Amino acid sequence: PGMTAVDKYLSYNGLLLPTVAHSPGSLRYAERFQFVEDDVVAVTYPKSGDPLSVSPVAAGDPLLAAAAPPREALLPPSASAGFAVCCSKFRCHFSMALQGKYILYKGLIVPRETHSAESLKYAEEFKTRDDDVFAVTYPKSGQKDRAPSRASLLFLSGTEPPPERGAGRITPGTARGTASPCTTWMQEILPLVLSGGDLSSVQNQPNWDRVPWLEETRAALVLEGRPSPRAMVTHLPLPLMPASFFKAKPKVIYVTRNPKDVVVSSFHFHQMASFLDDPGTFDEFLDKFLAGEVLFGKWTDHVKSWRSPEVQDRILYITYEEMLEDLRGAVLKFSQFLGKELGEETLTHIAEQCSFSNMKQNKMSNYSLVPTEFMDTSKSHFLRKGVAGDWKNYFSPEQEARFLAVYREEMKGVDFKSSWDEN
- Summarize pLDDT for 236-258 with one digit per residue, the tens: 999 999 999 999 999 999 999 99
Q: Who wins on pLDDT, 120 or 415?
A: 120
103: buried, middle or exposed (CB in 10 Å: 19+, 13-18, 0-12)?
buried
**Helix/strand number for the chain, H first, E second:** 19, 8
- Mean pLDDT to the nearest integer, 106-115: 89
Q: What is the largest CA-CA distance in the chain?
A: 75
Q: Give pLDDT tens digits for 114-141.
A: 899 999 999 999 999 999 999 999 976 3
How many other β-carbons are positioned within 10 Å of the β-carbon of residue 390?
Answer: 17
Q: Which of 376, 400, 389 is nearest to 283 (CA)?
A: 400
pLDDT band at 260, cuts 50/70/90? very high
Select the more confidently predicted residue: 383 or 423: 423
Query: Which pLDDT score is estimated for 38?
Result: 62
Q: What percent of the chain has pLDDT over 90?
A: 40
Active-site residue among 93, 115, 235, 302? 235
* Protein fold of 33-422: Rossmann fold (3.40.50)
Contacts of 88 (CB under 8 A, 6+ apart): 291
Please write the tens of the pLDDT for every residue from 186-212: 998 999 999 999 988 787 788 878 899
E strand residue ranges, 26-155 = 102-105, 108-111, 133-136
User: 220 and 119 in contact (C-beta within 8 Å)?
Assistant: yes
Q: Which residues of 373-388 are buried (b: 16+ CB within 10 A; e: fewer)?
A: ebbeeeebebbbeeeb
The Cα–Cα gap between 15 and 345 comes to 70
> In which band, very low, low, confident or very high, does the pLDDT at 412 lie, cut at 50, 70 and 90?
very high
Q: Please state, rounded to an integer, the average pLDDT across all residues of the chain.
A: 74
Look at residue 250 in the predicted model and tell me its pLDDT.
Answer: 97
Strands 9-12 and 15-18: antiparallel
Annotation marks residue 302 as catalytic:
no
Question: What's the pLDDT score for residue 366?
Answer: 53
Distance CA 380, CA 274 (A): 12
Question: What pLDDT sits at residue 72?
Answer: 37
Residue ranges of domains in the chain? 33-422
